Structure 1
């Protein structure tokens, strides 16, 4: 399965401008992809103005990416600010190539260090989804620091873990190390999709990357906007798990 990981510099809190930026990347790529993955809070940046930008699951952002998915015949993973009963959720939507909402994942671990928990509700459960028999575990940014979530995905034998993020450069080595660890311990591919550029407080150097089930870094992009195209090889994944059947020994204690 070919996957496009879009690392870009979103215009702060400007959904319309960011839609145009995303279109420009998609339109100029000549390689066919089956899945497009965007960073956390894809059209706003990591804003705490949650109520201002919150929308329903079927809102404007969904409609835009639904149309794009149908036009380009690929699935999309996009981050939105989802309206909630008390507070909004930081949410990842899976939209399929026919423009239908397949699954949504709500960030289980709001980033309390930046007070995200004061403006966003926490999700309550892990979520897996499928694209052409490829089983995928979903996560968002700060979730990456909590391996318990990903062990639940390992128990289900996911082929790919995706983490969409706004992860600043000051802690980027944590990002790299944790992505690699999640790949090794769960014997699956891991795609981390980060933003690049600046928001009002922080700088982001990206390091959007793709690791194989042995923890090898297959692709990475740093300090630039780029649609990084990678490929998941399920045959190789199965070979790794057969040669090193470590997942059979998991004990959830």
Structure 2
């Protein structure tokens, strides 16, 4: 599967400007024979315009994005602010290359600064099948927690895409390869100009800047290669881990 990452965030000017940018990136991705175009968290509304430019999943901007996918023949994964009743979610949408909506995911782990703006999602990450590989979506600090990526791996995910708002940090540079290595799958961090990919062994995966996009080919056989020495999923002992599902306090328990 060939992925194209757009290294630019959405504008807070609103959906119309961002849909133009989306269409331009999709044309570039199609010219590079990409199967999947990846865009940042809150791309459709811009990080600063989430509250004023939120829409339901079946809103006009999402319909326009579906038309972009259909005309370009490229699948899309992008962030938007989803309105559902009185709640607003930091969400991600999958759209197939035929323009069909494939699903949405609502960010489950909110950063402290987000808690006054968004409602935390209650579902586990979404999956979509693209070009023979299974792709899952996380948003921002969802990737700081091992459980969502492990859930995706157990459901057969080949590549986890982490949509962010362009921020990079030492923590991100630590967490993304860790999620790749411990689950033996690809992790793609959509981090604006600092976007990067990690192979199932946790090492950086090759990517090339072309036509204003970051282009990379993901090998569907790489997971098998990474698990030859030890298959971490097969060697798990879930019966010993029951306490991991318990909620114990609100933070670190003193020793």
TM-based fold match above 0.5: yes
Q: Say what the alpha-carbon RMSD is for the aligned residues.
A: 2.1
Shift in alpha-carbon separation, 1:26–1:102, aligned structure 2, 3 A: closer
Select between 8-17 and 173-182 the one with higher mean Cα deviation.
8-17
Higher relative contact order (CA 8 A, sep 6+): 1
Matched, 1:231 2:226: no
Gaps of 5+ in 1: 196-205
Kindly name which structure, 1 or 2, has the bigger radius of gyration based on alpha carbons.
Answer: 2
**What SS class does the counterpart of residue 162 from structure 1 fall into?**
strand
Shift in alpha-carbon separation, 1:61–1:250, aligned structure 2, 3 A: farther
Q: Is the 8 A contact 2:208 2:216 kept in 1?
A: no
Shift in alpha-carbon separation, 1:221–1:168, aligned structure 2, 3 A: farther
TM-score normalized with structure 2 length = 0.85
Aligned residue for 1:129? Answer: 128
- Structure 2 CA distance, aligned partners of 1:64 and 1:157? 30
Q: Is the 8 A contact 1:13 1:43 kept in 2?
A: no
Where do residues 57-76 of structure 1 align in structure 2 (5 Å cutoff)?
57-76=57-76
1:167, distance to aligned residue in structure 2 (A): 4.5
Where do residues 21-60 of structure 1 align in structure 2 (5 Å cutoff)?
21-28=21-28, 30-47=31-48, 49-50=50-51, 52-60=52-60
TM-score normalized with structure 1 length = 0.85
- Structure 2 CA distance, aligned partners of 1:45 and 1:66? 19
1:85, distance to aligned residue in structure 2 (A): 2.1
1:75, distance to aligned residue in structure 2 (A): 0.9
- Structure 2 CA distance, aligned partners of 1:250 and 1:207? 33
Aligned residue for 2:180? Answer: 183
Matched, 1:104 2:104: yes
Q: Summarize deviations over 1:9-37 as a string: whole Å, max 9, x none.
A: 43224322222233333334531111111
Select between 183-192 and 151-160 the one with higher mean Cα deviation.
151-160
- Structure 1 CA distance, aligned partners of 2:98 and 2:143? 30
Number of equivalences: 236
Q: Summarize deviations over 1:99-152 as a string: whole Å, max 9, x none.
A: 11111111001222x1x1122111112222222441222110111111111111
